[in-house]
Amino acid sequence: MLTVFERIPDQFVQHYDGSFQVWAREFRRRGHRAAIPFDPVPGVPAILDANGVRVTRGAWFEAEVDRSGPVPRVVIRPADDAAAEAIEKHTREMSRYWAQ
């Protein structure tokens, strides 16, 4: 089945490909919505919660099977506009590190 990513930068998809593959393997258990945690930005101090635990940023994604064409495909997109904005921002912040 073909996978199509909507509103997700190619560079993000390439970097987090392993996370998307894990979701695909665990799809029956995890369902059509999944969160992918972002890598921390190098050189930026960790943000800790009230208990001293590192706060992890990430975004929620939704997958949908589209059978309208000749070949069924899985469409993966941000769960909402806030997730899309977080993905765009994270990609801008990290793109120089991913290019290395």
86: how many CB neighbours lie within 10 A of its CB? 17
Phi-psi region of 31 (alpha: psi -120 to 50; beta: other; left: phi over 0): left
Map out the domains of the chain as residue ranges.
Answer: 2-98
60: how many CB neighbours lie within 10 A of its CB? 14
* 77: β partners: 62
- The DSSP symbol for 31 reads -
Which strands make up the sheet holding 58-66, listed edge to edge? 2-5, 73-78, 58-66, 33-37
pTM for the whole thing? 0.90
What does the pLDDT look like over 1-39, one tens digit per residue?
899 999 999 999 999 999 999 999 999 999 999 999 999
